[in-house]
Each structure stands twice: as structure tokens, then as C-alpha cells.
Structure 1
Amino acid sequence: MSKFYTKITSKLHKFIDAQKIFFVATAPNSGRINLSPKGMDSFRVLSENRVLWLNVTGSGNETAAHLLENERITIMFCSFEKVPNILRLYGKGKEIKEGDESWNELISLFPATPGTRQIFDITIDSAQTSCGMSIPYFEFKGERNDLNNWAEKQGKEGIKKYWTDKNQQSIDGLPTHILE
């Protein structure tokens, strides 16, 4: 049975820290729902109701566009090893970009990562666990370095050009304001 929480408990925090992958879901007021898998060392629990997610350059920038419109975000973690469990974090998020007042403080919480695009600062309204007993077992073999290698080859100027060409609007045409 599922259980709801009003905060991230120490047990939930420990579960989050043990996961190698998580999923981010956002949606505009009208248009496509975006659901993306995330990995790397890119998630931090700051308090019982605040988390950060370091986002790197990718093919789209849906989360930024959606959060500008309505702030809603769901993060999901699944246990693929040992005890079955699914955890969803429901909240409201905002984008932090390089040059923003809190950028230096927040970016220092993460390892240097090529292609870093923004940090999403998320206030958690509620959390929900469910059994996850139908989720198959998977073995973690390691992180992929493909995206980091690509970003390093692009360099800072190449990344900004990519943002100009590919990250200024969502697939539904909503602005992301990535270059502002």
C-alpha cells in the first residue's frame, strides 16, 4: 500500500542517496508531458522539504519551459536492487542559472560537470512511497561518460551555441529563457 509523507524523512533520504537513477516529470498547462531519466551525481537533499537537481545540457530543455509556466514537478526513484520500493516527490521547482544570486553557493554542492546547464531548486509538498514489487531487478554496472565526453569536446562556446540552436524552446514551442 502507498504511504504519503509531508516531508523527506531520514529513511526516505537514505533511500534517495542509494539510487543510481531517477526520473523527472513536468507538464505544461497544455501540451506534452515530459518524463526523463536522470543519473550522474546530480541530486541533493538539502532539507526535509527542499532538493536540488543539477541538470546538464541535453536534446531538450522541457523542464525549464514547464516550470516557468506552472512550477509543478514530480521526481521518482525506484529500487532495482534488494527491497522493492518506489518513491515520488511532488513539488514546485524553479530554475537557477549561472549568474543568478544563489548559483555559486548551490553549484558548489555538486562535482564539476561538463555541460552543466542549470540547477532546479525544488520545494517538496509531499512524498509518496509504494511497493514496487513488480519492478524487475537490474544490476548497476557504472556511469556512462558519453554525455560528459560530448560536452568536453564542445567546450563552453560550443555548449552555448547548442543552447541557441536546440534549447530555447520546448517541443511545444514554450520559451525556456536559457540564454537570459
Structure 2
Amino acid sequence: MMGQKLEALNDKLTDFIRQQKVYFVGTATQDSRVNLSPKGMDSLRVLSPNQVVWLNVTGSGNETAAHVQQQPRMTLMFCAFDGAPLILRLYGSAKVVHHKDPQWDELYRLFQPLPGARQLFVLDIDLVQTSCGMGVPFFDYVDERDHLNEWALKKGEDGIEQYWEQKNQTSLDGLPSHIMEKNV
């Protein structure tokens, strides 16, 4: 399949997204470094043909949250690592939903609870693009890694909040993530 530009997801692309075990998130502000992060752990839901939400768990940095609050553009990319070749990109404007924000409970219910759940990101899609993906190699999915869940459970809620305070309040470029603020 050669590349296409669409205004929204269709059923075939939505099914493709649901089958993926990994996807990639790209963000940047006008002057920041570009951040590209792999995601997994059954952390993405399609809400409509023009909106997705994904659950972000605690990690060593918090670039995505800091970037989106300065410049809301975001790109999600999915690659077929088995079956027919395909690359799918979702372009749009995102907003971050923190733990203490009013929308948290409603959106978080869409996911299995994950220890260390940090933020949710809602992406309003304005462009869907496919490309051939014929250069992407085949990979076999083996299993999920439990390391991050085990680490978060061991830290506990208080330990996670301390970690956020120490490691997740600013981006590499010093931009605030607002993770410790109430009702951002």
C-alpha cells in the first residue's frame, strides 16, 4: 500500500492500531530538543476517528508533558512488524491530563490500572498518513516487560510522587511539566 493522507481514522486503521504492541510518540517545542519515545503496555485507546488517548507511566524524564504544554503538536507513529507492511502516523494537537485534573478519572477508567500511571494525553487528530513500510523488518512479539510495573509497585505511591518531584518536573531543556501542581 502506498502512502495516503486522510482526515480521520477508518475502521481498517483503527483495527491496525488495536493490534500493535508498540508505538512511538514525537513532540517538540519551537526551541527544544525533539523527543521521540517508544510506548507499549496496552496504553492507547481510540476514542473516535479523530481522537485517541494514551496513558503515560512514570519514566526517567517527562519531555512529552513539558513539550505539549508549550506547543501542543504531537505525532504518533505505528509500524507493522508482522503481516503486511504499513506505517501509520497520526498528527494533531494534544493536551496533557494530570492525576489531579478533573478529566483524569473518566479517561483513566478506559485502561487497566498501571502502577506509576503519570499522565494521560488526548490527541485530537487533524491528519492521518500512511506509508508503505516496506523497509521495516519483521519482529516477533514475545511478551511484555514487567520491570517498570515491579519498580513502581516497589516504590509505592509516596515513592512515585517523590520520584516525580526529583526527576519529572522539568524537561531536558528546563521546561516545566506541571506534574506536581493541582488542577493545571
TM-score, with structure 1 as normaliser: 0.99
1:168 corresponding residue in structure 2? 169
Following the alignment from structure 1 to structure 2, what is the Cα–Cα distance between the partners of residues 118 and 74?
17
1:55 corresponding residue in structure 2? 56
- 2:101 matches 1:100: yes
1:135 corresponding residue in structure 2? 136
Post-superposition Cα deviations, 1:142-176, rounded to whole Å, max 9, x if no partner, equal 00000000000000000000001000000011111
Shift of 1:29: 1.2
2:116 corresponding residue in structure 1? 115
Q: CA RMSD in A?
A: 0.6
Shift of 1:74: 0.2
Following the alignment from structure 1 to structure 2, what is the Cα–Cα distance between the partners of residues 99 and 65?
16
Following the alignment from structure 2 to structure 1, what is the Cα–Cα distance between the partners of residues 165 and 13?
38
Post-superposition Cα deviations, 1:19-44, rounded to whole Å, max 9, x if no partner, equal 10000000011020000100001000
AA at the equivalent of 1:52: V
AA at the equivalent of 2:154: K
Following the alignment from structure 1 to structure 2, what is the Cα–Cα distance between the partners of residues 117 and 88?
24
Shift of 1:99: 2.3
Following the alignment from structure 1 to structure 2, what is the Cα–Cα distance between the partners of residues 52 and 167?
21
AA at the equivalent of 1:7: A
AA at the equivalent of 2:103: S
1:84 corresponding residue in structure 2? 85
SS at match of 1:52: strand
- Number of aligned positions between the proteins: 180
Following the alignment from structure 1 to structure 2, what is the Cα–Cα distance between the partners of residues 31 and 21?
25
1:41 corresponding residue in structure 2? 42
1:68 corresponding residue in structure 2? 69
Following the alignment from structure 1 to structure 2, what is the Cα–Cα distance between the partners of residues 178 and 101?
14
Identity %: 55
SS at match of 1:175: coil
TM-score, with structure 2 as normaliser: 0.97
Following the alignment from structure 2 to structure 1, what is the Cα–Cα distance between the partners of residues 150 and 87?
31
Task: List structure 1 segments (4+ residues) > 3 angstroms apart after TM superposition.
Answer: none
Following the alignment from structure 1 to structure 2, what is the Cα–Cα distance between the partners of residues 98 and 147?
19
AA at the equivalent of 2:13: L
Q: Is there any run of 5+ residues in structure 2 with no aligned partner, and where? A: none
AA at the equivalent of 1:25: G
1:146 corresponding residue in structure 2? 147
Following the alignment from structure 2 to structure 1, what is the Cα–Cα distance between the partners of residues 58 and 131?
31
AA at the equivalent of 2:147: D
Q: Is there any run of 5+ residues in structure 1 with no aligned partner, and where? A: none
